[in-house]
Every structure is written in C-alpha cells, then in structure tokens.
Structure 1
Amino acid sequence: MTRPLSRVSPFGEASSFAALTSRQDSDRPRTARPATTATSIASQDIICAITETVLCQICDSQTYAKTVTKIAVFEPTEILFMSSAKESKLFYIIQENIPDTTYTFLDRRFWSEKVGHEYVDRLAFPQDVETIKLTLGGNYFASCCLAAVLKYIELELDRVFTSHSLRIRFEPSQDSMSIDLSTISSLELIQNLQNAKSKDSLFGLLNETLTPMGARLLRANILQPCTENSKLLARYDAVEDLSTKEDMFISVRQALKGFIDADKVLTSLILAPTKHTFQYVEQSVNNVIMLKTYVSSIKSIYKALATAQSSLLMTIRELCAPAGHRAIEQLVEETLNEHVTYQTKPLDLRNQRIYCVRAGVNSLLDVARQTYKEANVDAADLVAKLSESHNLNLDLKFDSARQYYISVPASEVETLPEIFINIYRRKNRIECQTLDLVKLNQKIIDAHNEVINMSDQTIQSLINDVCSEISVLFKVSEAIAMLDMLGAFAELATCNEYIRPELTDVLAIKSGRHPIREKIHMKKFIPNDAYATQQSRFQIITGSNMSGKSTYIRSVALMTIMAQIGCFVPAEYASFPVIRQLFARVSTSDDLEANVSTFAAEMREMAFILRNIERRSMVIVDELGRGTSTTDGLAIAIAIAEALIESRALVWFVTHFRDLALILAERSGVVSLHLAAEISPDISRMVMLYKIAEGPDTTQFYGLAVAKLVNLPPGVLECAQAVSEKLNNIAQRRHSKSKALMLSRKRNLLLSLREQLLQARNGTLEGDALRGWLKKLQDNFVLRMAALEEETAEMSDEVDNDSGTVPADVAQDSLEHLPSQDCAEGASGAEPQTAILISSSSRESVTDPSSREMSHDESPAD
C-alpha cells in the first residue's frame, strides 16, 4: 500500500484538516495540566476539524475505532499530530485506515490549553464565548488541539480569522450512533462497492437535496445517526408537515434552488490572508456579490414556510425572519449596486465585479469604470471593422486566459490574413487575435485592476461590518441545510410511499423493503416483516442460496439508519429502538492488500465486534465461518453466537449451518427464521419466494438446484444428489429429540406470550382492534403449544434403541448402493466419498459416547 506523505517541516497547505493527540504518548514533555473530566480508563483522543470548528474529545479503546470513524466523517486532507506521536500506535492505526491524507507533525509548544482559551475569547461568537469556555474547562485535550490548528493556520497557511466570527461547537461523542468504517463500506452507506460513480448507495438514494449545505449535512447524519429521541421526533414532525402540505413543499423546494454554498461564502469572508494581495482583493469582491445573493434568497424561505406547524420548521422560519438579518441586508444595499448578481461565466463575472459598488461612492472609481467601458466598446468596434474589411464572419469571444479573442468558422477561410496572430485551430473554428486587440485587452485589464483596487476600501469596510453580525448568517445557513435535508426526506416519502416510524423499545417492521434494492427492482421487490425484542433478540436466518437472506438483514440495518436520521422508511409500519452502535459482518472477499484470507478477515471483524458490542447495539452477520472447514466453521459460529446472545444486542445471524438453529434453540432470546424456496421433487425447478417465515429452513438439496442453474455436467449432479440423499438419511437417524429441548421451547413460547401481552398493555391499540389482536395472539399460541405437545408425545413413543449412530456396516451399505458409474463419470474416484461417509459417522460417535454404546445393540436390519 502506498503511504501518503508524512512530514515534520515545513508545513504544507490543505483545504481542510483534523488535529489529534493522544494521552498515551510516553515521550511527551512533562507539563502541568488539569485533570480531564473523562472517566474512562481508555485512551482519550481529540479531533478538531475546521469546517465549522467542531471540537470532540473521545474516550476510546486500544483499537481507536471511534477516533478513526470520527475522522472519516470529516474527510480531512491533512491531519496534525504532536511531534512526539510519530511512533505511537494511534498514528499507525490512522495511517492504515485513513488513506490519501497528508500527516503533519507540530512541536509540543503549539498544543497549549491556555492559547486555546485565548482563541475562544478572541474568535468565538460573543454570545457563545462563556458557554464554550465552560465546556472546554473539562476537556483539556480539545483546547490543546484548537490552539494547534489555529496556530497552524496563522503561521503556515497565512490566514487569520476576523474577531468574533468563528463558529466553535463542542460535539459530545455519545450523542450519535457509532458506525465503524467496515460497516460503512459493506452496507454501501456512502459509495457503491461495484461502481463508485453509481447512486446505488444510501447517500445516493437519499440525496434529493438542492444545496451543498444540505448534502453535507445529510452525509454527516448518515455516518453519525442521531440518538436523541426529541430531535428525531421533531424531524419526523417536520417531514410529515412538508409531505402533507403540497403548496408549502413546492414553495420550499423552489426557494432552495436559488441558494449558493453559504458556508463557503461566509468562511471566505471571515478568513483573511496575513498579506493583502490583488487576488484576495478580487476574490473579496466576488465574495460580497455572493453574500448579496445569499442574503436576498433568505426571504423566499421565510415566505415558503408561512403555513408550517411543526416546531422545527417554525424554528427555521424564525431564523430566516427578515428582522434577524435586516441590519446586514441594509449594509449590503447601501454599498452594492442593486442589480449586481453572482455570475459563473468569466466575462459576466468580471463585469459584475466592475459595477459591484454603487455609483457615486467614489468619483475616481466612476472615471476608471468609464475607461473600462470605453475599452470594451473599442474591442467590439475593432472586431466589427475587421469583419467588414476582410469579409469574414468574426465573433468576439472571451476567456480568462486570453481575455478577448476572435473566432471565425473554419469553413469560411483556409488562410487568415497576416494581421491575425496567436492563431489556434479547433475542429470547426479558428481562434486568433490581432495586435490591436491584444493592446485593448491590456488596457481593459489595467482599467479592471484599477476599479478593483479603488473598490477595495469600500468592500473591506462592508466585510468588517458584516463580520460583526455574521453569527446570524451562520445560523441561517445551518437552518437552510436542515430544511434542505428535511425537504429531501419529504420528497422521498411522497414519491416512494415511505411511512413515519415510531420510537419504542421494540423493533417491528411490517412489509419492510430494502431502500436501494427497491429502487433497482421497482415492481418485483417483495416486502418482508421483522420483529425483535429481548425475547427474540438473536435471530438465526437460514435459507437457500439467492433466497434473499443478505438483502433481508441489510434492509433492517438500512431502515434503522434512516429512522435515526429523521427519515421516513419503506414499510407499511415500523417502530425502532434507538440503536447506539451498528456492526455489519457481511463482506466476503479476501483482503489482498493486507494479505488476509476471507476467514481471517471474518475473525478480525468479529473480534472487533465482540470487544465493542453492548446492549443497545445492532449486529448483522452474514454466513460466518464458511471460509474454513465445516466442523471448525460451525464450532466458531456457535461460540461467537453464544457471545452475541450474552451481549443482549439485537442480532441477525445468517447461516447455512442448519445445526446452529437446533443447538441454540433452547437458549433464551433465540428464534429461527428462514427465507422460503420451492423446489420440484426432481430438483429441476426452483422458485424463490423471498418471504421470511418462522422456523429453520427444511428445504433439501437447494444447493443442487442452484448448481443445475449453471449447467454442471449431468454425471456430477447425479452423483452429488445420490451422496446428499445418503448423508441426509444418516443425519436423520443420528438426530434424537431431547425432552429438555422441548421444555425449553415451551418456556420460550410462554416468555414470548408474556412479552407480547405487556406490549399490548402499553401500546396504542384499543377496543375492537385490541380484542382482534388478542384473539389472533391466543389462536397462534394455542396452535404452537399444541404442536409442541404433539412432538413431545411422539418423542415418548419412539423406540429407545434408535440411538441415531450409524455403525460402520450401515455406512458401508450406504456406499455400496451409490451409483458407482455416475460417480466415476462425475467425480475423481470413490475413495473421497468413503472418507466422507465414515468420518460423518465417526465424528458423531466421538461427540456422543452414549450413542456409541447403544449402536452395538442394533441389528444389521437397522
């Protein structure tokens, strides 16, 4: 793997960056510092990401998983480290997990808590200073990082922030769901794994935003879903308000289309270079023009939300009220030409800069403008005369590099007259200039520069006045970003029939749909239900290949994320508990760069999950243990499943190990489900139902049915089917039902009934609806209990000498009845099959000594 450039000095430029330090650095100089309020014994790492100056202090584990995830959310181009951290574990972990990033090391003296507090006093919004200082009082490392980052900006990037103009916010790490990088990638939250340009990802699906601020907020929310019920309920109310009021929704979406990137504009205004250059002066004019466009767009949002009733939309409307930014709007109106607007074409933008400042402010400025205007008229007249004198169809064009140039159709002339210079031939046109036009270009440039320089004093005065009130504009920008994201959610809810989720202690989804797959398979997608409580927290999902198991568990995870960012979900009904950690073990490819096999990658990811899982976590696991031998894979799957059950987290565990469901059936909290498929008796036809159903999968020979789809040689398939049938017969004879297992299943059924009755008591159903639901619950309970009683009775009548162990003579008899000719044609020989049959019976004898003893009493006929 190619490593990004790391360096100590000199500093390097970057457009955004994050600063980190670790309290584990043993060689850090001894300096007095107050004790942090963090209580964890784990290491503490701090990220300062300069976009809106977000400070975060994290109590992390030795794997630094939370730190790495937080950095990934901000996507920094440069990360600052303390110089003593070069050999630290933190540095190597970040270097491995955050690629394409520059690492810069700063001396310890730049990481000063005192300097950090001084920066807060000088740069933070006046109304926020005391609150921020109070917060940073118990977060020593965050203060140090703030000092290092701002000092780096001053000394190396030659930029300073205007006084009291910087947004500074402390972000507690516990207020959002934690999603590790592997889960972000495997669930395709931001980017499609097959095609990076595809919109088939969760972000691509949800990104119906119309502003850059809204898109950034949406991305941050997907990577850090909210865990505060009050915020989520407010977002649900707002989305419902927008989606049910068509006129307001259309007005809001129309108003948002006119917004520029407000965050970028405001940051440009408050961040000034230490040295005044002409480029900065010119860009300042562009910035105030964009500021005027931004301020004038706010009114339309205020009007569009006139009928809003949700508290969040009403708050956004209040922030956009004319009274809030009237002082800034008046400053802009008094200084700038009322007709000036931001343009993207080079010539239009240059003209807007020239006429940006109102006429009459400076008499010399008006003279310079007149010179500029006359030079432009002269250029147009020159081209008109050339066109007439040479009888050519000449057009006057402009670009930033050449300024004015002449364009002529290539079909009109083979050789241009000698007066034309700087000739450049394109496919259908010839571009050129004349000496007189070059001179006029220089005259226009001089006049333009003179106008810009004369406008500078007025422009800088306006910027200084605006910066004193800029906190209002930043809050408006945040409000518009939130409104844009909510508008995108309302668009999705309206167009895709999403429903409002509920926040409860139970995960219950009726007719849920995979949001991304649904978009791809519009009419063919089959919805499914999901239900999980503490009594059904570990769900084993079995089923044939291609039956939809992976899609099912992914849909649950994606809908959970959607619910916790405030979005409606694709279902007929949905309720979710608030999840604080989401883990996904679904990747199946080898990590070639790290020289790690599929199985090793599985174990590494599962080890990470087991170290970090807690009760409020959600885990989806797809076919664990298939990268090694069947015996070892099943053993590891059972051991990991036991640990996941003990964690009390919500787990969906997809597996092809059918024995896993039988072994764990007696455990409290375990349920077995399957994705059904229909296979014809001769295995010639297989129909996927894609519907979740109770109980383990009992479909036989589904692997052979799938193999037939790829046209394996008939001899191979016939041999495989014969072997599979014999092995199934042996397995059925080995299997003995346990009375203890029956009792455990009855106990679980009773516990499930108790939990459902408690939910009914605390739920919202009343009257006939409640009576109907209870009657259905009663009937279902009676049927399931009767089935268990019947199984218990059958078990009591079984012949005691049927131990289920397969003696050697039975194994040999099974082998003799195999179609040897087909096996010879479809396989390499009979010896491997003999080994399979004997090892199957031997393994059972070793694991069940009592069965071995009983098998000696069996007659050859058995």
Structure 2
Amino acid sequence: MVLDLKYDTARQYYICLPATEPGPLPDIFINVYRKRNRIECQTLDLVKLNQKITNAHSEVINMSDQTIQDLLRDVCTEVSGLFRVSEAISMLDMLGAFAQLATNNEYIRPELTETLAIKSGRHPIREQIHSSKFIPNDAYATPQTRFQIITGCNMSGKSTYIRSLALVTVMAQIGCFVPAQYASFPISHQLFARVATSDDLDANVSTFAAEMREMAFIFRNIQPRSMVIIDELGRGTSTTDGLAIAIALAEALISSKALVWFATHFHDLAQILAGRSGVINLHLAADIAPDASKMTMQYRIAEGPVPDRRYGLVLAKLADLPPAVLNKARSVSEAMARLARRRNSSSRAVAIAKKRRLLLSLREQLFLARDGTMDNAGLRALLIKLQDDFVLRMTAINREMELYPGDESEIEAHTEPVSNLSVHTPETQALGSTEYNKRMDNTLKSEPIVIESDLDSGSENFIDDDSVVLI
C-alpha cells in the first residue's frame, strides 16, 4: 500500500493513498474522505501528534509575547536616554547634510537682522537643474519697501524670484546656509504662499474661488512679522473685478505691515498704489528687438515698471499667429494706451506723496547707517551720497509741485474699516488717490483699508508711516 503524508491548514497532517487499492481499508484509518482517484484519512496517533503540534505552537506564541512584553518594560525604563540618543543622531545627520550642501554649492552663512537683504541670491532647486544658466538676483525689503509689486512678461522669472525668497528664508531660519553672496533676514513668524493657478476639481472649486479661499485664510492669520508671496491674483475672473479685488487685497496687505511680494500682470495696480508708503514696483527685465522679431529674457530683477508693456504681442508674434490677428491686436493696444495716457495726469497730491516717501526713505537709511558697522570714512561717504541724492530728488519733486499751484487735491483720505477681513496693525492715515481718480474718471477710488484681528500686532518692530520717532 502506497501512503503519502500531506498537510492541510484545516486538518493539519493527513494520509493520502490511491483509490485503486483493492479491498477495504484497515480499521486503524479514521476521518476517511474519498475524492475521485484518491483517499484521504488519518489515524488516531496522527491526530494526537497534530494536537501536540498545535499546543506547542500556541506555547511558543505565548512565550514570545511574554518575552516581548518584558523587553518593552525594560526599554521603557530607559526611554528618555534612547530619545536623547535618537535626537543627537538626527541632529548630527541634519548638520552633516547642511554642511555637505553648503560646501558643495558655495552657500554662505546668513545674518539675522531687521532687514531682508540678499545679494546674488539663487533658487536652491532651480540652480541644480540649470546650473550653467541660472542668473542670481538681489532682494531688499524694509518697512518702507515692505510691499513689492513684481511685474514682467510671461516666462521672465517672476515666480522663480518670489519662490526663491521664500525658500531661502525658510533655510535661514532652520539654521542652514543659503545660496547667495550675502544674506540677512528678519525673523518671520509665518510664511504664506498663494501661488497655485489651477482648479480644485475634487472640491468643485474654480481657480478664482481657490484664490479667494486661500486669501481669506491668509487674512485671518497674517501678522506684521509674516512673509507673504502671491503669484497672480484676480486673473480668474473679469478684468474689472479682478483688478478691483487685487487692489482691495493689496491695500489690506499693506496695512498688515507684513513683507509681501506680489507678482502680477495688472500694471495699473502698481500705478494706483504708487503713492502708498511701503510700496515699490520691480520688474523682470527682457530685451525686445526693434522689429519685435525676438525677445530675450534677462531673468534679472530691476527697479520700476516694465518699460514695454506690449510683450504679450511679441510672444504672440513668436507663436506664428496670423498677421491680421496681430495687426488688429496691435492697433487695439495702441488705442487703449493713448486713452490711458490722456487719463493719466499728475497732481499735487501725488507730488506730496512722493516727498513723504522720500523723507521716510531718508529716515530709514539714516537709522540703518547709525546701527551699522561702517568705519568713519565709509560712513562719511555714505552720508554725502545720501545728501546729494536727497537734494536732487527733492528738487525734482518741488519743481513738479510748482506745476500745480492751484490744485486743491491735497486731502488726506482717512481710513475706514472694511468688514469681513482680518489683518493686523491698521495704518491710521494715508494720502488720497487723486491721481488715480483723474486717470480713471472717478470710476474707482483707492482707499487704505483698515481691518482688525485678535492677534498681537507686534508693530513696535516696524516704522509707522506717520511716526517721527523710531520705536
């Protein structure tokens, strides 16, 4: 008789023999099952052995569990020491990674001051991808230049610029060297970013709705010590509504005293807010050929608005659109530009705002010079330069004011509370927007926004617009 020993999870070990064996099975076989051409059965001794195996397995599991429990009790008595060891190892690993990163990529040690100043700063990720092409940029932000409007043509590097500032700020505050020739940062309590430009299909939210939801969150939590980067705002709705909302949100961000970088294609936004204290306009430079046949991105930040606003037409031409379409777009653009120039008239109030900003800027420069570490010769040279620049710019402003002797628009617009917004440290006073009223034929009015919050303002670290004493 041919017997075969097999195993099954339900019956454990059993005996299998061919069903072709002649005659009945011996009485020693129990639990007999007949399946086609084979017979499965067990014996009493085999059942006992299976039970012993089960008992032994259960005993091993119980002993293993008891051993593990004893080990856990022993470890818990020394858990504080193990935590200290793990923290030391993780800290050593982080510092080693920082050291390797700083050594291999020529990073420098940043300083912690009250001014954000970066010389030849680089994007820590993009420079690894385009190491031979990446162009470094400078950045400078103080309470008098806390709201920076970044304009420029498409693909000129606006998003890369503002994101690099956020990344190096985070790197500096976690103790890492940063990619720059020199860098100093104020301590930022919060970092807010509004950079996505896509719909949220899962939440059934459009691009514009997502922008408004994110901005509402920012306004509920922003503080004077916050840092905010905004990459396009209000582009997901109509031009009029988008510009109006962008202006209102920008006014609220200015009032918050936070450091803000606002990248936008709304050039009117920079003109409307030009008279507000703390606002400056920068752009990413680009060279356009005289015949508009070629556009070269410099990827370098520069002061002032974009010199040529028709870069969209140049990009459209490079995309080989039909000539008739391009000619029509160019004629419409020129007509709108002429209309804007007729509406754009200077006023005495704008000149007064420029003079006020010049005085505040000089005051801030003098305080920085006083608290700096320059030697006497360097300090003397700096003061002479500041004096010469101040005299030239003030003379130009006075000449501009002489052109409007009878202008009655020197009216300061008092701040008014705006509901449904929550931002810290309201500005108590700002110049009215007479220039914009003339330019837009009284269709829009730029008023400073005042909003309240329960959070601590912390305004002692910033220079108030109307203050004459550094707090």
Moved over 3 A (4+): 448-467, 767-793, 843-846
Taking a change above 3 Å as real, the CA distance of residues 555 and 780 of structure 1, as seen in their structure-2 partners, is farther
- Tell me what 1:627 maps to: 236
Matched, 1:591 2:187: no
Q: Residue deviations 1:405-440, cap 9 Å, x none?
A: xxxxxxxxxxxxxxxxxxxxxxxxxxxxxxxxxxxx
Q: Residue deviations 1:699-747, cap 9 Å, x none?
A: 1311111112222112211221122122212211221011211111121
User: How much does 1:781 deviate?
Assistant: 3.8
Tell me, yes or no, if the aligned pair for 2:224 and 2:256 is still in contact at 8 Å. Answer: yes
Tell me, yes or no, if the aligned pair for 1:540 and 1:661 is still in contact at 8 Å. Answer: yes
Tell me, yes or no, if the aligned pair for 1:677 and 1:699 is still in contact at 8 Å. Answer: no
Q: Residue deviations 1:567-604, cap 9 Å, x none?
A: 11111111111111111111111112222221111111
Tell me, yes or no, if the aligned pair for 2:153 and 2:284 is still in contact at 8 Å. Answer: yes
The match for 1:536 among 145, 153, 157 is 145
The match for 2:81 among 456, 469, 472 is 472
Q: Residue deviations 1:678-714, cap 9 Å, x none?
A: 2122221212122212222231311111112222112
Tell me, yes or no, if the aligned pair for 1:537 and 1:670 is still in contact at 8 Å. Answer: yes
The match for 2:214 among 586, 605, 614 is 605
User: How much does 1:533 deviate?
Assistant: 1.3
Q: Partners of 2:367 and 2:360 in 1: how far apart?
A: 11
Taking a change above 3 Å as real, the CA distance of residues 790 and 516 of structure 1, as seen in their structure-2 partners, is farther
Taking a change above 3 Å as real, the CA distance of residues 622 and 454 of structure 1, as seen in their structure-2 partners, is closer
- Tell me what 2:38 maps to: none
- Tell me what 1:614 maps to: 223
Matched, 1:570 2:179: yes
Q: Residue deviations 1:651-688, cap 9 Å, x none?
A: 11112111211211111111111112221222212121
Tell me, yes or no, if the aligned pair for 1:585 and 1:602 is still in contact at 8 Å. Answer: yes
Residue aligned with 2:193, SS: strand
Equivalent residue letter for 1:570: P
Taking a change above 3 Å as real, the CA distance of residues 494 and 731 of structure 1, as seen in their structure-2 partners, is same
Q: 1:162-561 alignment to 2 at 5 Å?
A: 464-561=73-170
Matched, 1:713 2:322: yes
Matched, 1:663 2:259: no
- TM, length-normalised to structure 1: 0.39
Q: Partners of 1:723 and 1:616 in 2: how far apart?
A: 44
- Tell me what 1:52 maps to: none
Tell me, yes or no, if the aligned pair for 2:343 and 2:441 is still in contact at 8 Å. Answer: no
- Tell me what 2:347 maps to: 738
Residue aligned with 2:125, SS: helix
Equivalent residue letter for 1:710: A
Q: Partners of 1:532 and 1:671 in 2: how far apart?
A: 10
Equivalent residue letter for 1:847: T
Equivalent residue letter for 1:604: R
User: How much does 1:562 deviate?
Assistant: 0.8
Higher strand residue share: 2
Taking a change above 3 Å as real, the CA distance of residues 846 and 774 of structure 1, as seen in their structure-2 partners, is closer
Equivalent residue letter for 1:535: Q
Residue aligned with 1:599, SS: helix
- Tell me what 2:365 maps to: 756
Q: Residue deviations 1:730-773, cap 9 Å, x none?
A: 21122101121111112111111111211121122334443444
Q: Residue deviations 1:482-515, cap 9 Å, x none?
A: 1111111111111111111111111111111111
Tell me, yes or no, if the aligned pair for 1:549 and 1:675 is still in contact at 8 Å. Answer: yes
Taking a change above 3 Å as real, the CA distance of residues 460 and 626 of structure 1, as seen in their structure-2 partners, is closer
User: How much does 1:637 deviate?
Assistant: 0.8
**How many aligned residue pairs are there?**
357
Q: Residue deviations 1:763-812, cap 9 Å, x none?
A: 2233444344444444544454455455556x559xxxxxxxxxxxxxxx
Residue aligned with 1:847, SS: coil
Equivalent residue letter for 1:733: R
- Tell me what 1:580 maps to: 189
Q: Partners of 1:782 and 1:480 in 2: how far apart?
A: 59
Q: Partners of 1:474 and 1:848 in 2: how far apart?
A: 61
Residue aligned with 1:515, SS: coil
Higher relative contact order (CA 8 A, sep 6+): 2
Taking a change above 3 Å as real, the CA distance of residues 455 and 777 of structure 1, as seen in their structure-2 partners, is same
Equivalent residue letter for 1:758: F
Taking a change above 3 Å as real, the CA distance of residues 769 and 611 of structure 1, as seen in their structure-2 partners, is same
Taking a change above 3 Å as real, the CA distance of residues 533 and 462 of structure 1, as seen in their structure-2 partners, is same
- Tell me what 1:55 maps to: none
Taking a change above 3 Å as real, the CA distance of residues 505 and 637 of structure 1, as seen in their structure-2 partners, is same
Residue aligned with 2:229, SS: strand
| Identity across matched positions, percent | 71
Matched, 1:765 2:374: yes
- Tell me what 2:443 maps to: 847
Q: Partners of 2:442 and 2:276 in 1: how far apart?
A: 24
Higher helix residue share: 1
Q: Partners of 2:394 and 2:440 in 1: how far apart?
A: 31
Residue aligned with 2:215, SS: helix
Residue aligned with 1:640, SS: helix
Tell me, yes or no, if the aligned pair for 2:286 and 2:296 is still in contact at 8 Å. Answer: yes
The match for 1:722 among 331, 355, 374 is 331
Taking a change above 3 Å as real, the CA distance of residues 787 and 511 of structure 1, as seen in their structure-2 partners, is farther
- Tell me what 1:676 maps to: 285
Q: Residue deviations 1:304-329, cap 9 Å, x none?
A: xxxxxxxxxxxxxxxxxxxxxxxxxx
The match for 1:685 among 278, 283, 294 is 294
Tell me, yes or no, if the aligned pair for 1:683 and 1:701 is still in contact at 8 Å. Answer: no
Taking a change above 3 Å as real, the CA distance of residues 452 and 535 of structure 1, as seen in their structure-2 partners, is same
Residue aligned with 1:644, SS: helix
- Tell me what 2:257 maps to: 648
Q: Partners of 1:643 and 1:546 in 2: how far apart?
A: 28
User: How much does 1:544 deviate?
Assistant: 1.4
Q: CA RMSD in A?
A: 2.9
Q: Partners of 2:359 and 2:258 in 1: how far apart?
A: 21
- TM, length-normalised to structure 2: 0.70
Taking a change above 3 Å as real, the CA distance of residues 706 and 776 of structure 1, as seen in their structure-2 partners, is farther
Residue aligned with 1:659, SS: helix
Give unmatched runs, 5+ long, in structure 2: 1-56, 406-438, 446-471
Taking a change above 3 Å as real, the CA distance of residues 767 and 718 of structure 1, as seen in their structure-2 partners, is same
The match for 1:699 among 287, 304, 308 is 308
Q: Partners of 2:65 and 2:266 in 1: how far apart?
A: 74
Residue aligned with 2:165, SS: helix
Q: Partners of 1:524 and 1:785 in 2: how far apart?
A: 41
Tell me, yes or no, if the aligned pair for 2:347 and 2:404 is still in contact at 8 Å. Answer: no
Equivalent residue letter for 1:688: M
User: How much does 1:530 deviate?
Assistant: 1.1
